[in-house]
Structures are given as structure tokens and as C-alpha cells.
Structure 1
Amino acid sequence: MTSSAPAVRFRAVARHFGAVRAVDGVDLDIAPGEFFSMLGPSGSGKTTCLRLIAGFEQPSEGEIEIFGVPSAGVPPYARAVNTVFQDYALFPHMNVLDNVAYGLMVKGVPKAQRHAEARAALALVRLDSHGERRPAQLSGGQRQRVALARALVNKPRVLLLDEPLGALDLKLREEMQVELKALQRKLGTTFVFVTHDQGEALSMSDRVAVFAEGRIVQVGPPEDIYERPRTPFVARFVGASNVIEAGLAQALGGPAAPCSLRPEALSLLDGPAPEGWASLPGRIEDAQYHGASRRLLVAVDAATRLAVALPAAEGAGLAPGAAVTLGFPLSALWAMEAV
């Protein structure tokens, strides 16, 4: 093991369940201290990869290393990782302090020491005054923070988070996103975060791996994943981009390849398109008000519908059936692989 070893390394890793290849040849390095997200739809392989790191599953093929140490045959309790689950998995008969200290108790840490360490972990998540309460007396966000403290008290080198915000309402989810990222920066611990929520992955991560059908289809910083998708699947899944077929892209003056065109790159034109822009006449099929923005769905031909995101002040009064002209800079077309 060397100090330069990745926190987690996958080499040609596969996991089969009968004929199903849940993970299919994954190669991946996660850097020490990185907030790394695995993003994808249900059944894409991301949670199975997390379970492989934790030791809850074993690879059918390939190798996994944690800080340079091969994980084959190493049981979950002996790995330098801890997992935070979506359902919190708190013991209802124990108070918060004993829930957090449970892992230390299993390791044989004396009561006074484990309670002191548990209080310190609760302080990290701003629940140091809640130690005597039972989980049922806490809000959903507080229970999530207790689960986080229980994982952190064991001082893992890698913290695995399996859709930990999925059970929270929107406001709590957004608050926890901020808290999780701030905590990760403070601790410097490697976080591996599994989610199907694109907003979570983009807002918190240093890098994101997008999964589909057991494979990683793209990995990189959030800006690259969003602005420079590699394939139409990534473009559609991350941010719901418009995918312009190669023939239409070329006819508009763009590359002869399928292209991603983000909804916010489109504008409504009142006159000729500026130099370097393309224009398309269309008819509104749907119009939605989202507070700070408006979203339109515009049919530009029999087969093509374009999503348009506008500031709320624009497009007021437009309704389904209205004729519009869309415009966008040709530089907004991002050529992708044809798959």
C-alpha cells in the first residue's frame, strides 16, 4: 500500500446474479478525500457497486482495492468503510447517544470512552443536545444526521451513502445536501454517494459516474457531465437535455452528429436570428410555470419536441397552440457519440 493509492479502485469488476450482470466490467478510481457520486436509474448497477465496496457483495470477476489493500475475502466489519442507509436503520429502543455509540460498543470500547466519542460525533452533525432522545422523537432530518454520526464515530476512511436523502422532503433534502458537503470538506473523508437524483449529484460532487445497464457510461466533474455529455443517454438523464438527431443538427449548421442542446440555451425570437445562431419555427404543446422559470415543450416537426427553459418574466401569456420561433447559438450544440 502506498500513500498515493486510490481510496477505492475497481478493476474489471463484474457481479452476476444468475444470468443478470448487475455490474458489468467496471473500472474506476476514487481519490482520497473526494466526494464521489454514482448516479443512475434503478437497476443501473450503482447500489451493487456500493455494496461491493462495503463487502455486502463479492465480485464475480475483477478486483477491488481500498487504499491499496485488496478487499477479496475481507469481511465488512474489517474494512475501512462505513455505510449510511436510506432507511437510517436506527435502534428504536436505544437513545440517540447509544445508537451512535453502538459500533464502538461492538468493538469493546469502554462505555465512558464510547459515549465521549459519540457526543463528539453528534456535535459534528449539530445534535449534541439530543443524546437522550429516542429516534421516534426526532424529525426525519435529525434521524438522518444520527445515522450519519453513527457511521462517522467509527472514523471510516471511506463513507458510503446509499441514497441517504431519498426519504426526506424537498426542503430537508436541500438542507442536508449543504450539510453533507460542508461536513465532508471539514473531515476530508472520502464520501461515495449513490443517488438517482441528478440535482444531488451535480450540486455536491467533485466527480460523478453515470451508470447504465451495469456499466459506467461517463465519469467526470459535474460541469463536464452536464455541459458535455458523452452519449444521448447521459444528456437525457442528467438535466433532461434535448437530443438533436444528426440530420437536423447538420441542417441547422451544426456538426453531423447527434447533439445535446440544453433547454436553457434556447430563446424565443421576435425577428431574424443573430449571426452564429440557428432558428426553428414551432408550436407550443405544453407550458408550465415554475416560479423562477417557465418551461415550454415546443413541437418543431412531426418527430422533434424541444424543451425550453425561460426566465419567468419571458413567455408570459403563451399557451399550448401558440406559434413561436426558437433560437439558439450554434455553439450550444454539443456533439455526442452515436449509440
Structure 2
Amino acid sequence: MAEPSTTPAVSFRGVERHFGAVKAVDGVNLDIAPGEFFAMLGPSGSGKTTCLRLIAGFEQPTAGHIEIFGEHVEGMPAYRRPVNTVFQDYALFPHLNILDNVCYGLMVRGIGKQERYRQGREALAMVKLAGKEDRKPGQLSGGQRQRVALARALVVRPKVLLLDEPLGALDLKLREEMQSELKSLQRSLGLSFVFVTHDQGEALSMADRVAVFNDGRIAQVGSPQEIYERPSNRFVADFVGSSNVIEPAQTRAWIGVEKPASLRPEKIGLLAEGASGAPGTVTVAGTITQILYHGAVNRLELATEAGGRLVAALPASGLLFSQGARARLNFPAQALHVMEGA
């Protein structure tokens, strides 16, 4: 049996993209593995979408090199690259039925009508739209139109599928359903998916690895667990999930290390009156300044006696304190993740 390829599906080496004086992408180095679900996560203007467009061939790098399965693609037009893109607005032809929308790329490639319809129906069945071939895009729901866009991208059998905020136009419930379906589809196909999003929940729940972008650079790349549990710097801790970023002086007072640290709100508990913290834990006293109800949890904000602020996520059913009350929060010392980055 042949060994799996070790050639990256996508490779960036020192890639830059300038727009006048603005460096939208600034020295990015990155490898995406074959068959990997890779998310590019970051706020607007962080460079993630420009990186996707560089892979697709819609933009060309100002400096550096890009390879797709070992082939240099700088200067290669988009239509020659073994990739396809699914956009947020789906870009379906309203006057064509669903089958003809899906088969459009095959028609451009000169595939005969009978064969392209066969492949188109297979692609529609793959995304659970068999039987809807004759409908127009306007007759479908948002989730169904998203599936059509997926089928149209997959029918030409790309080696890498690029997804540019594809779930952004869907409501919350449908978006969550499509997250699960996209991940299942990617696993069954074994394709490399490169998924751009500003939604941290999407990135963490779907991706094998996540690159967090900031100011045109990658702030951190790793598994969702690494990114969430062990952020490398303050930006990642603040942007991915909700985190208490502890200043170096306070970290030194708690655990003897004078560096910034990240403390996730769900790691923090509330001590009952008169109770003592267990060995190896840190107890912080203060006044509750805010309680926000979030269904299963309440987010409690504590103004500490030391002058800081601490946010805890606590089970809603067990919270007996009210705003303005004195309270003590407690967490394991090991829940503090010391960060090296500024």
C-alpha cells in the first residue's frame, strides 16, 4: 500500500500582499496538510480572506511563494488551480435550475450534457438535495442554497476546497446544523478544506487546526484545544473565547511567575460562605458588580480587593449571590496559563 503523501496541500513561505502602503498579509509561513480541515480565524482586516484569495488565485503575492501540492502557483490564473471556492453569497444563477447551476463548471470544461448531468446529480445527492434538481435558487431555503453552492464547487473535483465565510448568512440554528454537515462531508471526502471565518465557535468546533490572524500575521496556529487552552499571547486569549487576561504583577502574587496569564471563566468556582479553598487553589475576594444570565450559565463579574476584575462562568441553577454582594472566587492554580507573548 502506498504511503500517504507528505507534500502539503497548501504551503506559504514568506508570503506578503501589499495594497499600496498597507501590508494586508505580512510574512506568512504556513503548511496545510492533505485532508485537513483548516480554519483561518481573525477579525475583519486581519489578512485571513486575503490569504484565501491568494490560494484561489484572485490575488497574487507581492513577495514570497505559494505551493499547492508541491506546485508553485504564483502567476498561475485561478482557473488553472486545483481549487474551488464557496462564497458567503453563494453566487448562484437565479435563472438556472439547481442541476444546471451545479453543472455549470462542467459545461465550461466541455463535459457532455449526459455525463455532466450524471455527475451533477451525484453531487446533489452528496449534499442531500436529490429530487430538487428542477427547482430555481429562489425556491430554496438559505441552507439549501448553501448546499447547492457546495455541490457546484465539489462537482469539478478540486484538490482543495476554499470556503469564505460560507455560513455567515444563515441563522444560528441552521448555521449549527450546517457546521456538523460540513465537517461530516469533509471527513467522507478526505479533501483539504480551508475555511475562513471571524466566528471563533465555528473555527473551534469544525477545524482540525486553526490559524489565528492579526494585522496580516499569524498570531498562533494549533489545534482548537491548543488555541483555546494555551493561547500564546494576549490577542489570542482575548479573541478566542472569553478569557481573563491577568497582568504580570497579579500572576506573580498568585503563582510566583511575573508574566501575563490567561484564565478562562469556566475554570473559576464560587466559594460558599465560610468555606476554604482546597490546596493548590487560588481564592480571590471582592464585590459582585454584574450578573448576566446566559441560559445554562451566569456570567459573574467580580471587582477584586486588589483592584482588578475577574469574570466567572457559573451554573445558573447554583448561583445564590446577587449584585453588590461580597463573594469569593476560587480556581486551581494550574488553570492559569502563563503566556510568553506580549
Q: TM-score, normalised by structure 1?
A: 0.97
Q: Which of residues 60, 67, 70 in structure 2 aligns to 1:68?
A: 70
Matched, 1:336 2:317: no
Q: Secondary structure at the match of 1:50?
A: helix
Q: Deviations over 1:187-217 (max 9, x none)?
A: 0000000001111000011000000000001
Using the aligned pairs only, state the percent identity.
65
Q: Which residue of 1 aligns with 2:326?
A: 323
CA contact (8 A) 1:38 1:46 kept: yes
Q: How is 1:242-281 mapped onto 2 (pairs within 5 angstroms)? A: 242-270=244-272, 271-281=275-285
Q: Secondary structure at the match of 2:163?
A: strand
Q: How is 1:1-339 mapped onto 2 (pairs within 5 angstroms)? A: 3-270=5-272, 271-301=275-305, 304-316=308-320, 318-339=321-342
CA RMSD of aligned residues (A): 1.2
Give how far 1:3 is off: 3.7
Matched residue count: 337
Q: Deviations over 1:236-282 (max 9, x none)?
A: 11111110001001111252210000000101012221110111112
The 2-side partners of 1:229 and 1:30 are apart by: 20
Give how far 1:301 is off: 5.0
Compare 57-66 and 262-271 and name the one that shifted more: 262-271
Compare 271-280 and 38-47 and name the one that shifted more: 271-280
Give how far 1:310 is off: 1.1
CA contact (8 A) 1:54 1:79 kept: yes
CA contact (8 A) 1:254 1:333 kept: no
Give how far 1:303 is off: 5.3
The 2-side partners of 1:321 and 1:100 are apart by: 59
CA contact (8 A) 1:141 1:172 kept: yes
CA contact (8 A) 2:24 2:215 kept: yes
The 2-side partners of 1:303 and 1:125 are apart by: 54
Compare 328-337 and 288-297 and name the one that shifted more: 288-297
Q: Secondary structure at the match of 1:16?
A: strand
The 1-side partners of 2:129 and 2:309 are apart by: 49
Structure 1 residues not aligned, in runs of 5+: none
Displaced runs of 4 or more, over 6 A: none
The 2-side partners of 1:277 and 1:102 are apart by: 62
Structure 2 residues not aligned, in runs of 5+: none
Give how far 1:123 is off: 0.5
Q: TM-score, normalised by structure 2?
A: 0.96
